[in-house]
Structure 1
Amino acid sequence: MAKFWIGVVSKEHVLRGVEGGFCQVCHGKKGPLNRMKKGDYLLYYSPKYQLNSQEKLQAFTAVGKIIDDTAYQVEMFEGFFPFRRDVSYYQPIRDCLIEQVRLHPEWHQYASQLRYGHFKISKDFFLYVFEQMKLDNPVET
């Protein structure tokens, strides 16, 4: 049975993963990636646009499905060998600001976990956020 996860990553890094068809969480650590299994779903939350910037975003920025069996290591640049997983990303989608999900009954439970970088969520919460991200879903004004 598929599980559902949140990864906390800057939007700039999320976009690299979407473009390359991979995910990377917790600064490339292997353990969190191997908690996910093939067929699990990953929802990215981006607190900021860029890792070393103070400019806040606070939005869900990508969603995908894990399509490989285990984490693998790559050399991203000299001396840095993070682990990754292959992901099939859903597109096109739009960012979903946290204001759009604060009314969900589980939001407060997950909001307090965002500092951990990677954690499991309920299918219900995942589907709620994913609905908000779909382009054919009208945004309330």
Structure 2
Amino acid sequence: MNEMQRAWLGVVSADHTQRAVQGGFIQLNHGKRYGVARLRRGDGFAIYSPTEQYREKQPLRAFTALGVVADDAPYQAEPMSMGERGTVQPWRRRIEFLPVHRAMLRDVDLQLTRPANWGYQLRRGLVPLTVLDFEALRALMA
């Protein structure tokens, strides 16, 4: 594999992360294209899960998956129900997920989490992650 140039952090509940890992894909922001379109083949991709289940209030605060972008462009999946959001045809990217175990946020020291209000940017659903932070997560989660 070529040396990784970029990495990203996606924000996805742990239950949805499990489906993504099983399917070898990622979709973000309810299937919108703009987030997954920023990814390039070979980019590192980490998933942070604020909760165990989507719309749950009980916090999890863990890194739940790691992988590498494995395709060249977003693709549209089959239409799927998004509950009250109706039916959507989500945009996705192929990810080669690595065999890892969860790492709790409190056990990780990342450049990303050092600023006081670091968590505010997670509302976007996708944030740049340094390659150093990705490698630190890979070492901790292996």
Q: State the TM-score bracket (shorter-chain normalisation).
A: 0.7 to 0.9
Unaligned runs of 5+ in 1: 135-141
Q: Does 1:100 align with 2:107?
A: yes
Q: Give TM-score scaled by structure 2 length.
A: 0.86
- Partner of 2:7 in structure 1? 4
2:120 maps to which of 105, 108, 112:
112
Give runs of ≥4 in structure 1 deviating > 4 Å: none
Unaligned runs of 5+ in 2: 82-86
Q: Which amino acid aligns with 1:52?
A: R
C-alpha separation in 1, matches of 2:53 and 2:139: 25
Q: Does 1:16 align with 2:19?
A: yes
Distance change >3 Å, CA 106–CA 56, structure 1 → 2: closer
- Partner of 1:127 in structure 2? 135
Distance change >3 Å, CA 105–CA 86, structure 1 → 2: closer
Shift of 1:75: 2.4
C-alpha separation in 2, matches of 1:105 and 1:40: 18
C-alpha separation in 2, matches of 1:72 and 1:105: 32
C-alpha separation in 2, matches of 1:21 and 1:128: 22
3-state SS of paired residue (1:119): strand
Q: Which amino acid aligns with 1:32?
A: G
State the Cα RMSD in Å. Answer: 1.5
Identity over aligned pairs, percent = 33
Distance change >3 Å, CA 38–CA 53, structure 1 → 2: same
Q: Give TM-score scaled by structure 1 length.
A: 0.86
- Kindly report which structure 2 residues correspond to 1:33-52, keeping only aligned pairs within 5 A, or say none: 33-52=36-55
Shift of 1:107: 1.6
